[in-house]
Amino acid sequence: MDDLKTPTGPEDGRTPLMAEIDHIMERWMEKQRESSEKEAKQQADRVHFLASYRSLAETVVKPTMDEVVTRLERDGGGAVVCHSEAKHRDRLILWMSLSGRITDKPRQDRNPYLQFDANAGHRRVDVWEGDIWEGRGTSRATAPWALDDITADAVTQRVLEILERAADHGGEFNPPSPNE
C-alpha cells in the first residue's frame, strides 16, 4: 500500500499535472466568452440590418410598389401589396394582374409578382419573382440584393421586366404537347 502516497507538489497541494486542469478550464472559459461576444455582435448586426431594411421598405420599396398598384389599376390591370414581419425575416410582395383587379387570393402559379425577403442571418435581401400569366411563365429566386441595391428605380425596373415577360405570355394558351 506504499503506492497510495499523498502527492507532493507546490504548497497549494496541486501537482504540475493537476494544474493542467486549471489551464484547460481557463482556455474553455475564454472560448465561451469569445463565442458569447461573437454571438452578441452577430445579433446586433441582424437587428441593425433589419432596422435598415425596414426603413428602406417603408420609404422606398412600399411607396414604389404602391405607385405600381395605382398605375396598373389606372391602366386596366390590378395589383396588391402584401407585407409580413417576422423576428429575423420580413417579406414584402407585389402581386400583379394584367387584366383587372386581383379578386382571388394571389398565387405564384397564377400572378406576376415581385417578392423581397429580408434575410437578417445573411444580411441580404432575397428576391423572388414570377411572370406567370395565362398559365405560362416562370417563378424563381433571383440573385439577392444588398441594401445598397434597393432604389425606387431598381424596383421599378424589375417590375417592368416582370410585366414585359408576363405580357409576352398573353394570348391563346397552347399547352406543350406530351412529346415536348
Note the pLDDT tens digit of each residue in 123-176: 999 999 999 998 899 999 999 999 999 999 999 999 999 999 999 986 544 444
CA distance 120 to 51: 10
Q: Which of 47, 62, 58, 39 is nearest to 123 (CA)?
A: 47
Asked if 86 and 50 count as a contact pair (C-beta separation under 8 A), the reply is no
Residue at 130 is within a domain: yes
Can you spell out the DSSP letters for 85-103?
--SS--EEEEEEESSS---
Residue at 16 is within a domain: no
**Segments forming the whole domain that contains residue 152:** 41-168
Give Cβ neighbours of residue 54 (< 8 Å, ≥ 6 apart).
Answer: 85, 90, 118
Burial of 67 (0-12, 13-18, 19+ CB in 10 A): middle
Note the pLDDT tens digit of each residue in 67-81: 999 999 999 999 999
Residue at 161 is within a domain: yes
pLDDT at 6 over 60: no
pTM of the full structure? 0.76
The count of other CB atoms within 10 Å of the CB of residue 14 is 14
Residue at 155 is within a domain: yes
Residue at 52 is within a domain: yes
Residue at 36 is within a domain: no
Residue at 140 is within a domain: yes
Residue at 89 is within a domain: yes
Report the domain count for the chain.
Answer: 1
- Cα R_g (the chain), whole angstroms: 29
